[in-house]
Amino acid sequence: MQETIRTISDAIALGCEVAAVGVLAYGALEGLLGLLRIFRNPAHLRVRRHVWLRFAGWILLGLEFTLAADIIRSTIDRTWDTIGQLAAIAVIRTALNFFLERDMESFAREQREEATLAADPAATSA
C-alpha cells in the first residue's frame, strides 16, 4: 500500500514540476516578446515595468507549482534534507511574492492616477 501511495504521489509531484516548466517557458516566451517591444521603444518605462511584472508573475506561478511538488514529496519522504529544501523554497517564494505584490500594487496605483489625470485634466491644477 505504501508503495502505491509513493508511486501516485511521485506522479502527482512530477505533474506539478511539468506544469512549472510549462508556466516558466510560457512566461519566458512572453517576456522575450515584451523585450522585443522594449527594443522598438526603449524610452517607454511603463512597458519595461509591465514586461518585468508579468514575467515575475509567471515565475511566481512556476514557484507555486514547484512548491506543491516539494510539499507532496516531503509528505512521503520525511527527511531533514527534504524539509530544509521545502523551507528554503517557501521562504524564497514568500519573499518574492511580498515584493512583487508591492510592486504590482504600486504599478496599478500609478496607472489609476494616470487614468484619472487623463480623464480630468483640471485635476492637475487643483
pLDDT at 18: 98
Lookup: cell for 125 = 491644477
Give per-10-residue mean pLDDT for the chain (126 aa): 89 96 97 88 76 86 88 84 83 84 81 79 56
pLDDT at 121: 64
What is the C-alpha to C-alpha distance for residues 101 and 49, in angstroms, rounded to an integer?
13
Given a contact cutoff of 8 angstroms between Cβ atoms, the answer to whether 59 and 30 are in contact is no
* CA dihedral (7, 13, 18, 19) positive or negative: positive
